[in-house]
Each structure stands twice: as C-alpha cells, then as structure tokens.
Structure 1
Amino acid sequence: MIETHEVVNQVPARAGVDEYAANAPLVDAVARWGSEGGAAASGLHDVGALVGSAAFQRDAERANTRPPVLHVHDHWGNRVDEVEYDDAYHRIMAAAIGAGAHTSAWARPGGGANVDRAAAFFLFAQVEPGHACPVSMTHAAVPALELAASGLRDRWMPRLLSREYDPDLGGARVGRPAAGRSHATDPKRSALVGMAMTEKQGGSDVRANTTRAEPTGVDDAWGREFRLTGHKWFCSAPMSDAFLVLAQAPGGPSCFLVPRVLPDGTRNVFRIQRLKDKLGNRSNASSEVEFAGTHAWLVGEEGRGVATIVQMVTRTRLDCVIGTAAGMRQSVAEAAWHVRHRSAFGSLLVDLPAMAAVVADLAVESEAATVTAMRLARAYDDDADASEQAFRRLATAVSKYWVCKRGPGHAYEALECLGGNGYTEAFPLARRYREQPLLAIWEGSGNVIALDVLRVLHREPEAFEAFFGVVADAGGEHAALDLEIAEAQAVVLEVSADPAGSAARARELTERLALVLQASLLVQYAPSSVADAFVRTRIEGDGGLLYGALPPGVDTSAILARA
C-alpha cells in the first residue's frame, strides 16, 4: 500500500506559552519602570498565560472570522441600532477589562501605574488587536471627562474604572417604555467609551466639521445640554455606552458626551448607518453614525472642543505605539518559533545564516518599539515632573509616526519567514499584516503627526530640550550615535529658523528624532548585541534597506536567544 499523505516537518502549534515570561524586553521594561517591587508581575504572568493559550488563540481567530453584524431594526420595524458580536469577542473583552487593560492606570495612580497597564494592554493586543480599540478609548476618555461637570463625572467615572464587562446597552428603545431594569434606578455598573470626530468632508481637518450642537437651555447635574444634528464618517466601536463627539456649537467646535442610554432609561437617538468594510481590524466595528436631535452634554469649555478631545487623542496615540509594538512582538514570536522547528536543505531554518539574520533583525526592531512604548508609558504616570511631561508631548508624536510606520513592513517580513503558510488565514500573521497599517492611520496619519511635531517645535521649545535631555543619557557610547544626535539637533535649529519652509522637512525631522530616541534607549537599557545591531544598521547605515542585511560582527545568536 502506498502512503500518499504523511505530515512531516510541519511546525507544532505555538500554544501553552506565557507570552509575558517569553518576552524578555517587556519583562525588563516592567521591572525597570513599572510599579515598585514588581507588584504587577504576577498578574502579567497570568495574562501572558491566558493570551498564550490555545483557547484564547481560537477566540482571536473566531472573533475575526465571525465579524460584527449591524441590526438597524428589530423584527417589528423598531429602530434598535445594535451591533452583534460573536461570543468569542465578548470573552476577549471580558478578560481584557477584568485584567485592567483599560483604566487600571487611573484606578491605581502612582509611579509605574501606566507601565503596568501598558504591559497588560500590550499582551492582549499581541494576540487579538481589534478589541484594543474600545479598551484604548475608554482608558483615554478619563482625562477628558475630568473636564466635565461634576454630576457627569460622578455618574460616568466609576463605570469607566469598573472591571466588569457588560455588553448589554440596556435602556428602552427610542419612543418605547423601558423593559426590565431602569437606568434611572438600577444603572449599568460599567461602561465603554468610543469616539466620533471625523466627517466625510473633513477627515483629519476636524475644524471643517458641520455637525451642529444647539443648546437646549437646560443646565442640569450633567452640565449644559445640547442637541446634535449631523453625520459622522467614522465612529469607532459603535456598541460603546457613550461617545466623545466633536460638533459646532454657537461658540465654536466643542466636545460633547453622547450617551447611548439617557438618564431616564430611554435610548438616545444614535443611528448607525452602516459598518465599514475594512482591510483589517475585522473583530472591531467601525461605523457611520447619524445624529438627529441627539442628546449631548458639554465636556470642557464651549469652543475649546479640539483642545478637550486632545486629552483623549494623546493617550490613544500612545496606545497606537504600544499596539504596534505588540504586533511586532507577535510577528517575531511566530517567525522565531517557525524557524526553530522547520527544516530545509538539511538544517533547521534558524541555523541557516540568511534566515537567522532576518529574524534577528526583526527582533531588534521589535525590541526598539517595545522599549520606546514602555518608556513613553512611564512618562504618563502622575508623578511625572514638568520635564517628563514636556518629553512625552514630543516623544509621543515622534514615536507614533515612526513605530507605526514601521509596523506593516515588519509584519510582511515576518510573514515571509513562514513561507506559504504565512500567507494563509490559518496562521495569524496574515491577519497581523492587515492590522498594522491601521495604527499608522488611526489618530493621525503620517503627515498629520509630522506636522504636530512641527507645532511642538514652534510652540513648546522646552519639549525639545526635555527630549534631548533623555537622549543625551546615551552619549559617549557610540560615536555614530553622538554624531546623529548632533545632526538631529542641527536640523531642529534649521527648521525652527524657517517656519515657512518647515512643512517640507517635517518627515525628515520626525524620522531623525525617532531613530535617535530608539537608539539612545537601546544603548541605555538593552543588551549590547541588540543596541549595537540597531546603531550599526539604523544610525550608521551599515546594512541594507531590507530586514536581514546585517553587517559582519552582529551577534545574531545572542539576539535570537533573547527573542
């Protein structure tokens, strides 16, 4: 009898792994910048084991292959505007919220709180990135809501800080009496917050928004009430319990809280027109939304809506960096696992110098992103002094631009390490490849971020002083890095002296700043094998334009062992 199908030389499933323990750069960062005494470590090991389990991986795949479904009306024609998710998505959300990946940094303030929270967020996003959108926005909504009326804060803040996950919106449908519990007497104890800023005619130019906010004349415990009329081209996570929305009030662009359920227990007017059919991010719904006399309450000052919602955007930009770094870690972990278990031409792939160089180079990029993300998170802790606050204002934009731009190419190269398997949907890197571009687009695409860097340059020169203060701590270790830091400072001076022509050099400036930041952090905190490889290839240019063209002398074995 002839055997026609025997499975050999296939890589075993990568499951049953503690993803936290396996990630040496993340463990080191938490030990360095996290809460005192490593208080978060045991919880992070629990999260690492969870996201590394076969069951969680199946849920991640299922949440993306059974994407959200919009139900505009019920069977009887009543408007419901509900988004239905697979149970796998709800299990992932419940785990992330239960672990505090959303707002634990606010619930336990102090040194290292944002690093602990960032590490949990990182681990969940490493395996299933789509759910991270509402998790991130809920975290980022907290500082904006601090600017709201006390009654609104008192009603909503405990719900945002809750570790319960309740996917039921509750409330009666518009125009119908409440059934079951009343939000007025038995409110939902937890909440997620989404965002609706962009419109079809403006995109990133939110000052071009046309959604109107008309005051009702009511000033209640939640503050000044308005009614909104307009259309939002992108509304993130439309199943959320409330949204921060930009609209044109009589006093100018203003920020509002729009709840799905009103204080009397009835549902607000929130017409979900359609869900976006996106390249990636399939487990998470994004939508168009229509407001038609929708109840809203002012957050912050009227006419200062952009400044108010920037409180939220700054932190979601940080989460874009963390999320991209998480994706890079997934890519490296999958590629390294594959080459250690797959043979070709009589050897394991990891023992072939060309493949070893590619995976080592990917690991260097991943560690640079991780250490940058965690160092930034530390700068967001409430014990950060004025210099740290100035540093984060610049470094967040710089890192958001560069790290997120590097994500898609990194995912592709890792995918190629798996050969044809990597290109199939049975393995996670095809999904990751589609996911990474979103984080470069969301919360400001490349030009928007680079121009923000220029705005900081012209308005807050102290941020550049703080930035180079951090970078200077790596001085004297590498002549090439010292030279690059000096050249980056020279470019800053040139650009600041030419405001009219600075826009044309915005990307050049931002890229230079990003590379010296990453190099300096690696020189200070990473093993010499990793730091030397980064400086030689990214700063000296002693390598090729693609991953894997490492110069002689790079210790690929040490880098791979760390990966």
Structure 2
Amino acid sequence: MPKLVGATSTSGYFQQHPKLYNGLEDDPILDRSAKLFLPEKVYQQVYPSLHALCDLVIDPKTLALVANAEHDLPYIKGTGFSSFGHPIPDALVTSPGWKELQDIGIRNGIVATGYDSALGASARVVQFLKLHQWGPSSAVVTCPSAMQDGAANVLLRELQRISPGSRAYDDKEDNRSIKRKVFTRAVERLLSIDPAIAWTSGQWMTERPGGSDVAGTETVATYEGDNGETDIDGNPLGPWRIDGFKWFSSATDCGCVLLLAQTEKGLGCFFAPTRKLDPEGAVAMNGIRIQRLKNKLGTKAVPTAEIEVRGMRAWLVGTEGRGVANIGTLLNVTRLYNAGSSTGFFGRGLAIARSFGRVRVMPSLALKGLPDKLRTLPRYTKTIAGVTLTYRADTLLAVFVAALVGKVENPDSPTAAIIPTDHDQVAALMRLITPVSKARTAKNGIAGLQECMESLGGVGYMENQENPEMNVARLFRDANVLSIWEGTTDVMATDTVKVVKGKLGAQSIGAVDAWLKATLSSNSTDPYGAKSSVDLSAEKAAITKAWSIFVYNAQSRSIDELLAYGREVVAEIGDVVCAALLIADAENDNDPTAVECARRFVRTRGTFGFDGKDVPDWKAVSQWDDKISFERDPPAPKPRAKL
C-alpha cells in the first residue's frame, strides 16, 4: 500500500483557474438582445466596437484598476480646510484606479453614445449594451455617468425651451443668450469623449427630512443677480444663491450638479458648476464643502458625501415651483442606467458561475469514474438554469426600455420592428414600464447574484482581490444599492400604480394592449421580415388572458387598494411584458433554447395559470437545464501572434 502523503501549501490538489470570456461570445442573451432591438445594419455597424469593449472589460489591466479603486478608498485631505481656514478646492482624494476608470468610460462613450445622431433611435440600445458590459468592471463609475447623462438630457431640453423665438421666459433671468452659452458649454463637456474636457455630474436631491420625498427640502435659493464670478470657462456662474445641506451626494468629484432648492414659488431645479475662478484666477469650489464621506455596504469606491452648500451660484432650470417636473426627465435616464447596472452585474455573476462550473472538479465523482465537473450535476444546472431564465427575461425587459427611450428621443428615426412607430404609444409604454424595469431588475439582480455567489461555495464568499475577475462578493455588495438608488422598490411600485390609476392610465394600458397584440400576433415576424414557424399559441393565449385579468382588476379596484399591493402590480406587468419579449426573441430565429425559455417562463410563473398542469419528464427537464445554463461553449483560444 502506497504511503499516504499530506498536502502542503505548495503541493497537492490545486483547482484550475476559471476563465472569463468575451460577453458577446459567452452570453447568448447579450447578442440576441442586440439582434432583436437593433436594425441589422446598425447591428453590423456597432458589433466590432462592442466586441472590443467586451474584451476590454475583462482585461486584467482593467480589473486591476477596480482592485485599486476598492483598496485605495476616497478620503478628505486633512480637515478640508487650509491652515488659514480657507476651503481646499480639491479636498476630496480618489484613487488612480478610480480616475482611470472614469477616463475609460468617457473615452468609450458610455454617456456620449446615447446621443450619437448617426445611430438615431438605436443610440440608447447601443449605449445600454455598452453599459451592461462596462458596469461590472467600472468600480461603479457608472453612477456619476448616469447623473452626467441625466444632466445632459435636462439641459438639452432646457436649451430647446429657451431657444431664440420660443415663448419661454424666466421672470427673473432676462439674459437668455448668456444662459444658452453656459448650458451649451456644459452639454459639450457632459457629452465629450475627451477626459480632459468631460464633466460628470451630481444629482443632489436627498436631504435629512426625506429620501425620495423632496417636499421637505431645506435648501434655499435666492435670486441676487450676477455677482461677477465666473466658472472655469470664464462664463458667469449664475444669478441665484443656493444655501442648504445635502445628505447624500454621489459623484462628489463631479464637474457640475443639478439640485433642488426652495424658492418663493416652491421647489426649483438648478444647475451649477462645482468649481469657479477666484479673484486671483485660481480654481476654487463653488460654495461647496464636504462634511464627511459615507461608509456604505458596497460602492466603496464611489465618493458619496454629506455636502454643505453655502453661497453656491447657480442657474434656474425651467421655471420656479416646477423643480420636480424639470428634474423628473433625468429620472427616466438614471433608472435606465440602474436597470443596465442590475442586469450587467447579474450577467457577470452568471459568467463567473459558468466559468467555475466548467472547471470545478468533484473528486468524489472522479474516483467513481463518473463525469466529475460541477456542471454535470443536475441539481447545480437546475439552479443555474432558473437564475439564467430570470436574467434572460430581465435583460430583454431592460433593453426594451432602452429602445423605447431611444425612440421617444428620436421619433422620426427607424428602429427594430418590435418597437411601435406611434409616438404617443411609445411614450406611454416608456412611462409605465420604466419603473417596472427598474424595480424588477434590481431585486432580481440582487437575488441572482446571491445564487451565483453561493454556486462557487466558499470561494464565492471571498473578496478575491487577488483574482478580481472572480469577485462575485463585490458585485453582490455593489448591487444592493440598485434597489435603493433612484427610488426604492416601494417607490417604484407607487409610481407604477399612479400611472395605471392616473390621467395616463387608459393611454398606458391601451399602449400595452396594442403592443401585445402586435407582438403576439400569429403572423409575428422577426425584425428582418421572416415569418416564424414556432408554435407558442398556448403561451400567447395565457399571456393575453393574464393581461386581461390584470386590466380588469386594475380598473375595478381603488388606487388605495392597488397601492397596498403595489409590488404585485409591478410583478404582474413585468411578467406579462417579459413573457411577450421572450416569445418575440424565440420567434426571431426559432432557436430551440430560446423557445424553451419562452415556454418555461410562461408555464412556471403563477401569473399565467399553468400551475400543476404541465409536468414534463425530469430527465428532459435536466437536459434543458444544461442547455439553458451552458448554452454556448467557451470560445476557442485565439492563436498566439508570432514574435
């Protein structure tokens, strides 16, 4: 009998390292979403750059920047004041990793792509696909990116409102030409792909009296007129003085900010650069002092702070008393980013779980001469398949919202056939489904990442800073904020119910009706005109019936009753829309796995009434579990270049 030898720190069994692959090659739903929501010409046009970004986000150099940003956390230099009591202009210190990740996002047009006129209505879809891949590798620089995009959106609308010849006016600000110059320059910076020029933006709404409830805002805006101070471009800072305290300020290192403040006529929305030129021409803070940085569960690299605003100079956006409505357009954008982050993090977690399942050896099986990889265990693949199905549905839902936003912003631009052409219908769909998407993807992303983390066993619970590509724990920590940022799940549920029962209720329900009929039509065609041969008639009938029941209940019940069951409202709308999208995806090319996903989603969700009526053979189910979990084999290794 051979002598038994114990393992040491350098000998014995060592698990093979899992490997991440290019998202467009490894993640079927990413590529399928691009094909479903982009015209073929646009898909072919953007594929090379998107593929290159998918390589960049898993490059060890990029992931090393994330590790640096997580290790060297932001801090305030000294006390924030000079030895003689002057506020230090750049008291906030962030890591080299954070700064370089900011620059990578800017250079790759994470924000600018959404405004690419050459892409038209497809711009938001292409932007979403980039965000989906970039978010998990960004140390959440996508947070200031979201605010940056939202600020650009708000200022572009305001520039249109105060354009020459328009009837819009500000009863105190009479120099519209200067305001246009200031906002035009700000938009140039917000949409620049040059890190030396680009600004990120803050969105400072939250105060001590409430989070999403801004009625108790204690920040005050006073009109004083031009005081001669200028921003770093030499433009006037603004005629309004802002004083107050903001309880949360994500993107504290931003170049400009949108914030709410009380005026004589109610809440107003204001724009302000964060820096100005002092009398000697040096850069100084525009009335901003950081009180302290927040210590959070996740998003550790994001410099979130408590901010005292004292004597900040700013410009009014819109009219006094309409601040919530004026800043509200920003929320559609930031909630889209939230859904992009949720599904992107979820997708990365699944990519890690798949990579681990492919290489993890089970010694007990190997000793018996059985297939010894983790992915061969039916219980494992069943869990991963269930999580993957949720991810698949949520990603389609989120990209659908991106396509709707793109069509609203570019109504005359052609888009994929699954998007309606009627502008009012598109706007109504966007208004109803955006909060549903934000709420659903955030909650499912958190739960899904927990499953991905658990699927790795103890390794999944580790921070894995030595191998940042495997750090599901970081993704899970960061993802937990996504159900809170931009409105909690209950806030999203309340918003959804108010749409259904409000003045836009009939229009929104009618828009979903029309879209479902077109999408579930027996004559459905894929985006490129080919008729489908897949028979999903039973599933389509179940979706139509479920929607009819929802509409009846929504219309017959009071708003108070629906508010009490707001999360159920969100779940039912989300189930119906996700199911229809899964069918559209399946009918796009009759792909067997896509068809199985569509059928499985409808037949396993209680919303559609199939409970207990469909009990397929467990062996057949297990085979499909494996196909859904590991739909694509790893890409073949690329040949090494000859030296």
1:405 shift after superposition: 1.3
Aligned partner of 1:96 among 105, 125, 128:
105
Partner of 1:519: 579
Q: Which amino acid aligns with 2:314?
A: A
CA pair 298-494 structure 1, distance change in 2 beyond 3 A: same
Alpha-carbon separation, structure 2, partners of 1:297 and 1:318: 26
CA pair 267-439 structure 1, distance change in 2 beyond 3 A: same
Aligned partner of 1:432 among 475, 479, 488:
475
Partner of 1:368: 393
Q: Which amino acid aligns with 1:525?
A: D
Partner of 1:12: 17
1:243 shift after superposition: 0.6
> CA offsets, 1:470-523, max 9 Å, x none?
334236725355335433433333333423433112221111001111111111
The yes-or-no answer on 1:26 pairing with 2:30 is: yes
CA pair 205-330 structure 1, distance change in 2 beyond 3 A: same
Alpha-carbon separation, structure 2, partners of 1:67 and 1:203: 25
Determine if contact 2:18/2:355 at 8 Å carries over to the other structure. no
Alpha-carbon separation, structure 2, partners of 1:496 and 1:222: 52
SS at match of 1:449: helix
CA pair 29-484 structure 1, distance change in 2 beyond 3 A: closer
Partner of 2:497: 454
Aligned partner of 2:354 among 332, 336, 349:
336
The yes-or-no answer on 1:87 pairing with 2:125 is: no
CA pair 553-14 structure 1, distance change in 2 beyond 3 A: closer
Aligned partner of 1:533 among 597, 600, 619:
600
SS at match of 1:130: coil
1:210 shift after superposition: 1.4
SS at match of 1:112: helix
CA pair 44-425 structure 1, distance change in 2 beyond 3 A: same
Determine if contact 2:354/2:630 at 8 Å carries over to the other structure. no
Alpha-carbon separation, structure 2, partners of 1:11 and 1:250: 66
Determine if contact 2:542/2:609 at 8 Å carries over to the other structure. no
> CA offsets, 1:103-137, max 9 Å, x none?
22113350311111111111110333521101111
The yes-or-no answer on 1:73 pairing with 2:80 is: yes
Partner of 1:417: 455
Alpha-carbon separation, structure 1, partners of 2:457 and 2:292: 37
Alpha-carbon separation, structure 1, partners of 2:385 and 2:306: 42
CA pair 137-12 structure 1, distance change in 2 beyond 3 A: same
Determine if contact 1:451/1:506 at 8 Å carries over to the other structure. yes
> CA offsets, 1:41-71, max 9 Å, x none?
1111111111111221222222122221122
Determine if contact 1:89/1:283 at 8 Å carries over to the other structure. yes
Q: Which amino acid aligns with 1:244?
A: L
Determine if contact 1:244/1:255 at 8 Å carries over to the other structure. yes
Aligned partner of 1:496 among 555, 562, 570:
555
SS at match of 2:111: coil
> CA offsets, 1:137-177, max 9 Å, x none?
111211211215412222211111111124xxxxxxxxxxx
1:350 shift after superposition: 0.4
1:312 shift after superposition: 0.7
Alpha-carbon separation, structure 2, partners of 1:41 and 1:282: 33
Alpha-carbon separation, structure 1, partners of 2:540 and 2:13: 47
SS at match of 2:248: strand
Q: Which amino acid aligns with 1:101?
A: I
SS at match of 1:459: coil
The yes-or-no answer on 1:144 pairing with 2:154 is: yes
Partner of 1:50: 56
Partner of 2:410: 383
Question: Structure 2 matches for 1:162-173, cutoff 5 A?
Answer: 162-166=192-196
CA pair 223-249 structure 1, distance change in 2 beyond 3 A: farther
Q: Which amino acid aligns with 1:463?
A: S
Q: Could you tell which deviates more after superposition, 239-248 or 506-515?
A: 506-515
Aligned partner of 1:359 among 366, 381, 384:
384
Determine if contact 1:11/1:342 at 8 Å carries over to the other structure. yes
Unaligned runs of 5+ in 1: 167-188, 545-549
CA pair 513-4 structure 1, distance change in 2 beyond 3 A: same
Alpha-carbon separation, structure 2, partners of 1:429 and 1:158: 37
The yes-or-no answer on 1:64 pairing with 2:70 is: yes
What is the root-mean-square deviation in Å for CA atoms of aligned residues?
2.5
> CA offsets, 1:9-52, max 9 Å, x none?
5141425x323332221122223323634211111111111111
> CA offsets, 1:425-452, max 9 Å, x none?
1141111111222111100001111111
Determine if contact 2:33/2:396 at 8 Å carries over to the other structure. yes
Determine if contact 1:404/1:439 at 8 Å carries over to the other structure. yes
1:3 shift after superposition: 5.0
Equivalences, count = 536
The yes-or-no answer on 1:442 pairing with 2:485 is: yes
CA pair 538-63 structure 1, distance change in 2 beyond 3 A: farther
CA pair 393-32 structure 1, distance change in 2 beyond 3 A: same
The yes-or-no answer on 1:487 pairing with 2:546 is: yes
1:411 shift after superposition: 0.8
Aligned partner of 1:274 among 289, 292, 301:
292
The yes-or-no answer on 1:397 pairing with 2:451 is: no
Alpha-carbon separation, structure 2, partners of 1:371 and 1:222: 45
Partner of 2:627: 558
Alpha-carbon separation, structure 2, partners of 1:386 and 1:275: 43
Q: Larger C-alpha radius of gyration, 1 or 2?
A: 2
Q: Which amino acid aligns with 1:383?
A: N
CA pair 505-470 structure 1, distance change in 2 beyond 3 A: same
Q: Could you tell which deviates more after superposition, 513-522 or 492-501?
A: 492-501
Alpha-carbon separation, structure 1, partners of 2:13 and 2:513: 54
Aligned partner of 1:194 among 190, 202, 211:
202
Q: Which amino acid aligns with 1:370?
A: T
Alpha-carbon separation, structure 1, partners of 2:601 and 2:261: 45
Q: Which amino acid aligns with 2:138?
A: E
Determine if contact 2:342/2:482 at 8 Å carries over to the other structure. yes
CA pair 302-356 structure 1, distance change in 2 beyond 3 A: same
Partner of 2:344: 326
Partner of 1:242: 256
CA pair 111-140 structure 1, distance change in 2 beyond 3 A: same
Alpha-carbon separation, structure 2, partners of 1:440 and 1:479: 34
Q: Which amino acid aligns with 1:261?
A: R
TM-score, with length taken from structure 1: 0.89
Q: Could you tell which deviates more after superposition, 515-524 or 532-541?
A: 532-541
Alpha-carbon separation, structure 2, partners of 1:340 and 1:543: 33
Determine if contact 2:69/2:139 at 8 Å carries over to the other structure. no
Q: Which amino acid aligns with 2:583?
A: V
Determine if contact 2:132/2:344 at 8 Å carries over to the other structure. yes
The yes-or-no answer on 1:253 pairing with 2:267 is: yes
Alpha-carbon separation, structure 1, partners of 2:582 and 2:315: 45
> CA offsets, 1:67-116, max 9 Å, x none?
21122525635312532121111221111110101122113350311111
Partner of 1:161: 191
> CA offsets, 1:277-300, max 9 Å, x none?
011011111111111121111011
Alpha-carbon separation, structure 1, partners of 2:342 and 2:619: 26
Alpha-carbon separation, structure 2, partners of 1:43 and 1:378: 19
Alpha-carbon separation, structure 1, partners of 2:509 and 2:238: 39
SS at match of 2:225: strand
Determine if contact 1:349/1:355 at 8 Å carries over to the other structure. yes
SS at match of 2:433: helix
Partner of 2:520: 474
Unaligned runs of 5+ in 2: 160-178, 229-234, 366-371, 412-422, 465-469, 523-535, 587-593, 613-617, 633-643
Alpha-carbon separation, structure 1, partners of 2:537 and 2:496: 26
Determine if contact 1:256/1:297 at 8 Å carries over to the other structure. yes
Alpha-carbon separation, structure 2, partners of 1:454 and 1:254: 26
CA pair 245-9 structure 1, distance change in 2 beyond 3 A: same
Q: Could you tell which deviates more after superposition, 487-496 or 276-285?
A: 487-496
